[in-house]
Amino acid sequence: MAIGLEQVQIQFQPVLDAYIQGSITEETMLKLVQWEKRWTWSFDNYKPVFDLAREKQIPLIALNVNSEDLAIVEKNGFQGLSPDQVKRYIKDP
């Protein structure tokens, strides 16, 4: 079982992993995933989910695209992404 989070961009998966492992605090996790900058909804709405995941060691999975990559696609289309950027989202085309 895992919990998918559209609120967190995939570049921050290691931060979620560290949070679940207990090696960083909630405050540090929020800072490192840039919650206030990259997600407009208050963390208070999601805190019970994060608390449960940490308590029960349920993996949190970052599902959102990186905003930097999204900006490229919005401007240049999917073909604007480099092969390495595409591999972040499509592991085995």
Q: In three state form, how does the secondary structure of 37-61 look?
A: HHCCCCHHHCHHHHHHHHHHCCCEE
The larger pLDDT score, comparing residue 22 to residue 93, is at 22
Residue closest to 61 by CA, chosen among 38, 33, 22, 92: 33
How does pLDDT run across 52-80, given as a tens digit for each residue?
A: 999 999 999 999 988 898 889 999 998 89
How does pLDDT run across 17-34, given as a tens digit for each residue?
A: 999 999 999 999 999 999
Residues 24, 32: contact at Cβ < 8 Å?
Answer: yes
Round to whole Å and give the CA distance between 10 and 89: 9
Would you state the pLDDT for residue 93? 66
Round to whole Å and give the CA distance between 43 and 18: 18
